């Protein structure tokens, strides 16, 4: 941000009320700021003809953003988009009368009609909100990472992660996210298919306009993984431009081949299944691309098991420039 820009304000190390107070100054300078009770607020930064509606939590922003700025700001700034940042103090699933009334007012005012394209985004409880409140802007695009469909125990009694939140009402306005997303032009639900509860929620989003993208072995902190892989901004940009397809998404996910947590989870799974040939292929693949002591040690052990002496050859590969091992362990492991 250039010197003197409203976003050049210190936001780190603050409690929620103080942080929100400073954002109020930013919002008033760039668009508007709207308190939504004591646990929510909305900040609008007016810029371009594409609007990113980003649902985030204060805790999530603090954990993932060094500057404690809303995560949607970076992608909006990069693309010259306008940003509507809707933030909760903690995980509330944005179930509050003040939030309902805010989106009602935006709809009545024709706020979303002023933009050529509208993209709703969120992860986890915020992914639920992105899907649920997208009904306020028919024809929008939605990107939801591992969203919950609802916490109504009559529908999702099998999900025991959020038993305390079952007292919230998910049966009134903006309630059942899979129904609310039906008005979107396109919905994208991204989830780790190896996480049973996330996969079960994703299955509830089966709709003609929803594309579900499976990302096995990326775990339960999917938003953090995509940020660390530096592909989240690319995914959101492609979605807003109508270019996010199964093929383009698969291309973005090639970055996981260099993402340590993914590779370690894949290795652990293959070892648990005792698929030693695939373990060997994976270890050769990884050690040829990067320094990975765990994979090198495992490869040596496998070579010893196979009776290979290792003399006269480099069982660890010749460094990052060496060719990858035979085959693609990702494809093989997915069978």
Please report the pLDDT score of residue 325 as a whole number. 42
* pLDDT tens per residue across span 8-50: 999 999 999 999 999 999 999 999 999 999 999 999 999 999 9
Please report the pLDDT score of residue 321 as a whole number. 40
Pairwise CA distance, residues 212 & 236, whole Å? 15
pLDDT band for position 303 (cuts 50, 70, 90) = confident
Pairwise CA distance, residues 21 & 1, whole Å? 20
> What are the φ/ψ torsions at residue 23 (nearest 5 degrees)?
-65, -30
Pairwise CA distance, residues 65 & 19, whole Å? 14
Contact between residue 80 and residue 47 where contact means Cβ atoms under 8 Å apart: yes
pLDDT band for position 88 (cuts 50, 70, 90) = very high
Contact between residue 83 and residue 70 where contact means Cβ atoms under 8 Å apart: yes
Please report the pLDDT score of residue 329 as a whole number. 54
Please report the pLDDT score of residue 169 as a whole number. 93
pLDDT band for position 328 (cuts 50, 70, 90) = low
Q: Say which residue the tokens 């050049």 belong to.
A: 8
On the question of pLDDT at 271 being above 60, the answer is yes
Mean pLDDT of the chain: 91
pLDDT band for position 304 (cuts 50, 70, 90) = confident
> What are the φ/ψ torsions at residue 200 (nearest 5 degrees)?
-70, -40
Please report the pLDDT score of residue 81 as a whole number. 98
On the question of pLDDT at 327 being above 80, the answer is no
Distances from the Cα of 246 to the Cαs of 150, 201, 290, in angstroms?
26, 20, 28
Domain ranges for the chain: 16-254, 260-333
CB atoms closer than 10 angstroms to residue 245: 13
Contact between residue 178 and residue 127 where contact means Cβ atoms under 8 Å apart: no
Q: Tell me the mean pLDDT in the region 241-269.
A: 95
* pLDDT tens per residue across span 113-128: 999 999 999 999 999 9
Pairwise CA distance, residues 322 & 326, whole Å? 12
Pairwise CA distance, residues 107 & 102, whole Å? 9
CATH class of 16-254: alpha beta
**% pLDDT > 90, the chain:** 83
Cα 196–198–202 angle (5° rounding)?
Answer: 115
């Amino acid at each position: 941000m250039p010197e003197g820009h409203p976003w050049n304000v210190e936001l780190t190390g603050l409690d929620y009320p103080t942080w929100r107070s400073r954002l109020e100054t930013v919002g008033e300078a760039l668009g508007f700021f709207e308190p939504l009770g004591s646990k929510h607020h909305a900040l609008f930064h007016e810029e371009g003809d594409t609007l990113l509606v980003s649902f985030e939590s204060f805790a999530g922003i603090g954990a993932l953003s060094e500057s404690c700025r809303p995560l949607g700001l970076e992608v909006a700034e990069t693309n010259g988009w306008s940003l509507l940042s809707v933030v909760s103090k903690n995980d509330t699933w944005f179930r509050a009368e003040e939030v309902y009334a805010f989106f009602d007012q935006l709809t009545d005012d024709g706020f979303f009609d002023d933009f050529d394209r509208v993209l709703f985004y969120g992860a986890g409880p915020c992914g639920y909100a992105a899907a649920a409140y997208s009904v306020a802007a028919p024809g929008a695009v939605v990107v939801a990472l591992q969203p919950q469909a609802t916490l109504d125990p009559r529908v999702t009694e099998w999900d025991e992660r959020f038993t305390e939140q079952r007292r919230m009402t998910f049966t009134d306005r903006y309630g059942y996210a899979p129904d609310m997303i039906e008005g979107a032009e396109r919905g994208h639900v991204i989830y780790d298919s190896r996480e049973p509860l996330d996969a079960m929620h994703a299955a509830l989003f089966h709709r003609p306009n929803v594309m579900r993208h499976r990302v096995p072995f990326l775990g339960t902190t999917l938003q953090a993984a995509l940020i660390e892989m530096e592909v989240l901004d690319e995914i959101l940009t492609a979605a807003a431009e109508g270019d996010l397809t199964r093929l383009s998404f698969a291309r973005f996910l090639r970055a996981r081949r260099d993402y340590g947590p993914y590779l370690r989870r894949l290795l652990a799974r293959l070892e648990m299944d005792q698929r030693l040939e695939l373990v060997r292929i994976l270890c050769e693949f990884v050690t040829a691309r990067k320094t990975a002591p765990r994979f090198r040690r495992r490869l040596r052990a496998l070579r010893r098991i196979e009776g290979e002496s290792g003399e006269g050859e480099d069982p660890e590969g010749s460094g990052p420039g060496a060719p990858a091992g035979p085959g693609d362990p990702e494809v093989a492991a997915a069978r």
